[in-house]
Amino acid sequence: MENSAIQPCCDPIENPSVERVALANLPTEWGDFQIAGYRSLISKEEYVVLFKGEMNRETPTLVRIHSQCLTGDVFGSTKCDCGEQLHTTLQMIQQEGRGAIVYQQQEGRGIGILNKIRAYALQDQGADTVEANERLGLAVDLRDYQQCAEILFDLGLCNVKVISNNPLKLQALEDAGLKIVERVSIEVDSAEDAAGYLRTKKEKMGHLLELNRN
């Protein structure tokens, strides 16, 4: 085994359920990235991944699965911390010179933008994010991260440093065979509006947040 040093350290995923469709350069205000588009072979779902630097299986690499949040990512909503998390992650990857963000287009944890606005209307009347979904008869979290893990693997990664507070995402990456060498917590300075939302994420959804800052 003279080439053992360059053997992949993860077992290849058999019969991956995603395929890469296109790859291009994407200069951003945080730095130059590459952008790749993937499609699911088992659903209509599409994924985008922004990455930077050489992707290889050995080097522990910053990764994040970011779930689309139109209100936070695009409109700068202060009801949640999604936009700040996305931008902080881009800065972290830019600084490190290497990393990848899988952008999962499952708005509102999979319920879709229209239901999310319905849920916001209930929150206007005092419900928290979990109660609002339950009142609308929607699951609290419909997301499936298996394909996000497959995309990271397809990019050429194995040892990952995951930027996430969500234990479900960490578990999904491990289940898909990626090796988590570190969990990088992300706590952005979120607006006061988001405080209740973050408390619900911590207390009802098991997110690993400190929430001890003012």
Q: Is 86 in the site for Zn ion (CB under 5 A)?
A: no
Q: Which of 69, 93, 152, 176 binds Zn ion (CB under 5 A)?
A: 69
CB of 18 to Zn ion, least distance (A): 24
Residue of 64, 109, 143, 154 marked catalytic: 143
Are 38 and 50 spatial neighbours (Cβ–Cβ below 8 Å)?
A: no
CA dihedral 93, 201, 40, 70 (to 10 degrees): -70
Residue 117 CB, nearest distance to Zn ion (Å)? 12
Q: How far is the CB of 184 from Zn ion (least distance, A)?
A: 19
Backbone angles phi, psi at 41, to 5 degrees: -90, -5
> 51-90 as b/e, with b when 16 or more CB fall inside 10 Å?
bbbebbbebebbbbbbbbbebbbeeebbbbbbbbbbebbb
Q: Rounded to the nearest whole angstrom, what is the least distance from the CB of residue 56 to Zn ion in the complex?
A: 32
Q: Does 132 bind Zn ion (CB under 5 A)?
A: no
The yes or no reply on residue 102 touching Zn ion (CB under 5 A) is: no
Active site residue 141: yes
For Zn ion (CB under 5 A), the number of binding residues is 4
80 binds Zn ion (CB under 5 A): yes
Binding region for Zn ion (CB under 5 A) out of 19-27, 38-46, 79-87, 140-148: 79-87
Q: Counting contacts by CB under 5 A, is residue 194 touching Zn ion?
A: no
Q: Which residue has the tokens 């319905």?
A: 118
Nearer residue to Zn ion within complex by CB, 153 or 197:
197
176 touches 151 (CB < 8 A): no
| 179-184/159-163 β-pairing | parallel
Distance in angstroms (rounded) separating the CA atoms of residues 21 and 19: 6
List the catalytic residues: 141, 143
In the complex, which residues of this chain contact Zn ion (CB under 5 A)? Answer: 69, 72, 80, 82
